[in-house]
């Protein structure tokens, strides 16, 4: 009685060995490191040799270097050496090389070759910058309505329908010169987007167009998702290793940048809504749709209303130099290139301007409440005479070196679908992150030691078996977190501490049930069997309800709350295995099949 078949013992042994193996990389720790990757292609060996030589010349010792996912990792003994190496390599690498601060695992090569890595640490343990942005969803709708208005103008113009198209709030009004054009105009608008609402206007020669509620919601969702994609591209260009960018709620985006300690540059790049428009200069002055725009070159410049090409049509941008001046080398898509070719062919010796557009957040008081709105800020950054014909590739000058670099980064990463505004910020230093780690693991050690002493004293041999299961449970949790690469946060450490208590609680239920069976006169082997069988339902019910709570936290929580839910869920699964199957295997191995008069419980 109370004996497992061989396969069950092997299963328990296999799970424990696998857990120890996956948890093992964490015992070797991590070191401050630099991650080096090529912006295009792969790094050449000559480049890496030059980097290592320069680091050695500066007295910056490398503790370890390895290649993973086409990136080179250089580990250093401390954060100061890492910072000095980062500044040197960032300057040396230029635009062709992307350099980022990170943490490098220090486990042996045989573990790394197996694809095993230590746990990923959250921002509160690793250090870095936490930013919270809010997406201006109203501006996203206004931007889409402006696109519709432009499409209406082009569509009606192609059919020689004289019209006036204006947007007011969430409504586009189309006014026509002739009554007989109304039906054709409505048909053209419906062809552009059949889902739009077409309403009667103030007169028989006009009508109004609105987006449906479904279109509004879809556009708002698209704006948030597109902004997340653009921000990921910008973060990649900044050279941040392992960033976290995710949606929070309806209109907010959380950005976590491990290793970054200066949030100003990150905020400036991430929230910038800059884009460009290329327009011809109106030499005759304002009027007929032409209007003046402020210029950094001097007096205002009057520009024609038609846009030759815009930032949405830029497929590549890089910073460089043209005739000794900082410049941005622009490459347009096919449509923008064709439009630029036609314009330059027809306007040789005329002036073309580059209009830089940013969105600023303004506030106003409506019914006693402060509301926010976006207001575009215009700046003519370049005016040049068209000396020859060009199409999809040309240069923009008139910028400083830093402005050229930032503008090329923004244009290459893509424009934001809607303006972003920072609503929260937190910077966590590396030393504070390490302090959080030390305090968290101190809490685990104290809690674990207290439970171990109590169980061994109160339940004797069975208590020692429970302590062994508890230690195995911790190893399995660490192994699972390492295998899944789930980020461990401070709330996650709290989840582990809670799991320690829950795991031993299951054994307490089992051992107390065994005591009750012995007091009732049951045999030793019968008491062990009944104790595990009868306590199982209570343990299962408690763990299932806790797992449901963890699942709800994961589904509806954000950031640290999800981290707590993940570790709690993993802890429930591992504790069920170690407390029920694991301890039963050890108990059966020690006491199973033997005739006993008493039990050390």
Condensed to tens digits (0 to 9), the pLDDT of residues 128-141 reads 788 888 888 888 88
- Which stretches within 557-593 are classed as H helix? 560-576, 583-591
539 in Cβ contact with 547 (< 8 Å): no
Q: What pLDDT does residue 303 have?
A: 92
d(CA 66, CA 13): 33
Q: Which range, of 112-121, 236-245, 526-535, averages the lowest pLDDT?
A: 236-245
- Please state, rounded to an integer, the average pLDDT across all residues of the chain: 83
More confident residue, 558 or 267: 267
pTM value is: 0.65
Condensed to tens digits (0 to 9), the pLDDT of residues 45-65 reads 777 788 888 888 888 888 888
Condensed to tens digits (0 to 9), the pLDDT of residues 185-215 reads 999 999 998 999 999 888 888 999 999 999 9
Condensed to tens digits (0 to 9), the pLDDT of residues 149-166 reads 888 888 888 888 888 888
* Residue whose pair of structure tokens reads 């919601």 in the numeric block: 217
Q: What is the mean pLDDT of residues 73-101?
A: 80
Q: What is the mean pLDDT of residues 552-573?
A: 81
Condensed to tens digits (0 to 9), the pLDDT of residues 419-457 reads 788 888 887 766 666 677 777 778 878 878 888 888 888
Across 281-312, b (16+ Cβ under 10 Å) vs e yields bbeeeeeeebeebebeeeeebbbbeebbbbbe
Q: What pLDDT does residue 414 have?
A: 67
Provide the CB-side half-sphere exposure for 291 (13 A, CA): 9
Condensed to tens digits (0 to 9), the pLDDT of residues 506-536 reads 888 888 888 888 888 888 888 888 888 888 8
Q: What pLDDT does residue 599 have?
A: 74
Condensed to tens digits (0 to 9), the pLDDT of residues 331-355 reads 888 888 888 888 888 888 899 888 8
In DSSP terms, 50 is beta-bridged to none
495 in Cβ contact with 528 (< 8 Å): no
Q: What pLDDT does residue 274 have?
A: 66
Sorting pLDDT into bands at 50, 70 and 90, what band is 16? very high
- Walk me through the domains of the chain, giving residue ranges and CATH numbers: 6-24+431-591 (1.20.1640.10), 30-106 (3.30.70.260), 138-216 (3.30.1240), 274-400 (3.30.1360)
Sorting pLDDT into bands at 50, 70 and 90, what band is 21? very high
């Amino acid at each position: 009685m109370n004996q497992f078949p061989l396969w069950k013992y092997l299963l328990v042994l296999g799970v424990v060995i696998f857990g120890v193996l996956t948890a093992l990389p964490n015992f070797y720790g991590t070191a401050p490191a630099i991650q080096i990757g090529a912006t295009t292609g792969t790094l050449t060996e000559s480049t890496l040799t030059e980097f290592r030589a320069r680091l050695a010349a500066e007295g910056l010792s490398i503790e370890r270097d390895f290649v993973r996912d086409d990136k080179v990792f250089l580990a250093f003994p401390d954060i100061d050496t890492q910072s000095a190496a980062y500044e040197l390599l960032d300057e040396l690498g230029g635009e062709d090389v992307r350099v980022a601060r990170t943490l490098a695992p220090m486990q042996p090569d045989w573990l790394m070759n197996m694809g095993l890595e230590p746990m990923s640490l959250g921002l509160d343990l690793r250090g870095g910058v936490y930013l919270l942005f809010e997406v201006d969803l109203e501006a996203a709708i206004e931007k889409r309505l402006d696109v519709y208005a432009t499409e209406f103008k082009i569509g009606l113009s192609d059919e020689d329908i004289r019209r006036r198209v204006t947007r007011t709030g969430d409504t586009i009004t189309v006014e026509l010169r002739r009554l007989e054009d109304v039906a054709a105009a409505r048909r053209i608008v419906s062809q552009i987007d059949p889902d739009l609402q077409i309403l009667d206007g103030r007169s028989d020669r006009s009508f109004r167009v609105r987006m449906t509620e479904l279109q509004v919601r879809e556009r708002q969702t698209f704006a948030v998702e597109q902004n997340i994609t653009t921000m990921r591209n910008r973060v990649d260009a900044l050279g941040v290793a392992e960033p976290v960018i995710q949606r929070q709620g309806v209109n907010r985006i959380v950005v976590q940048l491990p290793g970054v300690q200066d949030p100003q540059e990150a905020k400036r790049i991430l929230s910038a809504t800059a884009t460009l428009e290329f327009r011809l200069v109106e030499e005759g002055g304002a009027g007929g749709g032409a209007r003046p725009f402020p210029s950094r070159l001097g007096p205002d410049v009057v520009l024609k209303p038609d846009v030759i090409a815009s930032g949405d049509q830029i497929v590549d941008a890089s910073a460089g130099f043209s005739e000794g001046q900082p410049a941005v080398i622009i490459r347009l898509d096919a449509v923008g290139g064709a439009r630029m070719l036609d314009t330059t062919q027809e306007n040789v010796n005329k002036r073309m301007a580059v209009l830089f557009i940013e969105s600023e957040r303004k506030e106003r008081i409506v019914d006693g409440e402060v509301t926010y709105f976006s207001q575009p800020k215009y700046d003519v950054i370049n005016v040049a005479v068209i000396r020859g014909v060009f199409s999809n590739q040309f240069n923009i000058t008139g910028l400083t070196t830093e402005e050229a670099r930032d503008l090329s980064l923004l244009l290459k990463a893509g424009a934001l679908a809607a303006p972003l505004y920072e609503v929260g910020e937190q910077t966590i230093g590396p030393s504070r992150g390490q302090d959080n780690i030390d305090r968290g693991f101190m809490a685990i050690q104290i809690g674990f030691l207290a439970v171990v002493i109590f169980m061994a004293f109160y339940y004797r041999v069975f208590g020692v078996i429970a302590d062994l299961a508890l230690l195995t449970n911790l190893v399995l949790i660490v192994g699972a977190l390492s295998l899944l690469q789930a980020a461990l946060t401070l709330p996650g450490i709290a989840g582990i501490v809670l799991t320690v208590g829950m795991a031993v609680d299951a054994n307490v239920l089992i051992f107390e049930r065994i005591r009750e069976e012995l007091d009732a006169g049951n045999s030793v082997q019968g008491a062990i069997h009944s104790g595990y069988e009868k306590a199982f339902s209570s343990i299962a019910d408690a763990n299932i309800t806790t797992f449901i709570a963890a699942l709800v936290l994961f589904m509806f929580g954000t950031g640290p709350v999800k981290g707590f839910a993940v570790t709690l869920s993993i802890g429930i699964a591992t504790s069920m295995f170690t407390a029920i199957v694991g301890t039963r295997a050890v108990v059966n191995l020690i006491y199973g099949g033997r005739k006993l008069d008493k039990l050390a419980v």
